């Protein structure tokens, strides 16, 4: 199984290198291990994350693409769908099948037709969901009902101005600028 996973990851890496999505760079940490990747995601334009460069890592299971990878930001993040340790909580990264909690349809969850590119674009869309409503027609609103970061979800819902200030401080930190 790991052999087919490796071939798939190599093909996805080649595709990302030949045709990288705007604002995203991703690939294996080293070419000795295609199951651990690093990514840099640029904060979407017109959002409170605009201008930031957010590093993350992806860890792929040996049975990829049957099972989804795990994704975790390696910098501080403040978002309803990102745990305080940086782990990303979005539907596309949840195991295939029915959601035992009933929040997601099986069509929203992982399937082998997904790809690294789709994951990263979903994360950009998730970040774009935290914006003043004008720019992103396909942005995914943060899930503030069962947020991974309850404090961020509550603040996003009740005090958007303060949420935006925190996000903008994080952007400055990712760029090595004072808060």
pLDDT of residue 46: 87
Among candidate residues 48, 75, 89, 130, the one labeled active-site is 89
Side-by-side strand order, sheet with 33-42 = 24-30, 33-42, 53-59, 70-73
Which residues 6+ apart lie within 8 Å of 16 measured at CB? 24, 26, 27, 116, 117
- Tell me how far apart the alpha carbons of residues 37 and 51 are, in angstroms, rounded to a whole number: 22
Q: Is 89 assigned a catalytic role? A: yes
- Tell me how far apart the alpha carbons of residues 25 and 30 are, in angstroms, rounded to a whole number: 14
119 contacts 12 by C-beta, under 8 angstroms? no
pLDDT of residue 143: 60
- For the question of whether the overall pTM of this predicted structure is more than 0.85, the answer is yes
pLDDT of residue 51: 92
What are the DSSP calls for 117-165, one per residue? Answer: HHHHHHHHHHHHTSB-TTS-TTPPPP--SS-SSHHHHHHHHH-HHHHHH
Residues of the chain with pLDDT under 70: 1, 101-102, 104, 130-146
Task: Select from 30, 25, 13, 83 the least CA-distant residue to 54.
Answer: 25
**Tokens coding 171:** 């952007």
pLDDT of residue 28: 97
């Amino acid at each position: 199984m790991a052999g087919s996973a490796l071939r798939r990851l190599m093909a996805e890496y080649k595709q990302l290198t030949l045709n990288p999505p705007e604002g995203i760079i991703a690939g294996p940490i080293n070419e000795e291990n295609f199951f651990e990747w690093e990514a840099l995601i640029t904060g979407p334009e017109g959002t409170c994350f605009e201008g930031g460069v957010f590093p993350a890592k992806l860890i792929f299971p040996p049975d990829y693409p049957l099972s989804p990878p795990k994704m975790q930001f390696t910098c501080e993040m403040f978002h309803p769908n990102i745990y305080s340790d940086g782990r990303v909580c979005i539907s596309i990264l949840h195991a295939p099948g029915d959601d035992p909690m009933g929040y997601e349809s099986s069509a929203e969850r992982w399937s082998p037709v997904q790809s690294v590119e789709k994951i990263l674009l979903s994360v950009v869309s998730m970040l774009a969901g935290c914006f003043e409503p004008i720019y992103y027609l396909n942005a995914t609103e943060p899930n503030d009902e069962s947020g991974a970061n309850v404090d961020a979800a509550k603040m996003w819902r009740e005090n958007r101005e303060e949420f935006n200030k925190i996000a903008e401080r994080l952007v400055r930190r990712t760029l090595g600028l004072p808060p």
